Amino acid sequence: MTTYSGFSTYRRVRKYRVTDFDLVKQDLYNHFHIRKGQKLMNPNFGTIIWDLLYEPFTESVRNAIEQDVRAVVSYDPRIEAEKITITEFVNGILVELDIVYRLTDESSALTLKFERDAAMRAAGE
**Would 2 be classed as within a structural domain?**
no
Residue 84 maps to a domain: yes
Looking at the domain assignment, is residue 110 inside a domain? yes
Number of domains in the chain: 1
Residue 15 covered by a domain? no
**Torsion of Cα atoms, 121 then 76 then 8 then 114, to 10°:** 20
pTM for the model stands at 0.81
The verdict on residue 117 lying in a domain is yes
- CA dist 45 and 75 (Å) reads 9
CATH code of the domain covering residue 35:
3.10.450.40
**Considering only CA atoms, which of 86, 87, 88 is closest in space to residue 68?**
86
* 41-48 CB contacts, 8 Å cutoff, 24+ apart: 45/75, 47/72
CB distance 69 to 81 below 8 Å: yes
The tens-digit pLDDT sequence of the chain (125 residues) is 455 544 444 444 455 556 678 888 888 999 999 999 998 898 999 999 999 999 999 999 999 999 999 999 999 999 999 999 999 998 999 999 999 999 899 999 999 999 998 766 655 55
Range of the domain at 39: 20-123
53 in Cβ contact with 92 (< 8 Å): yes
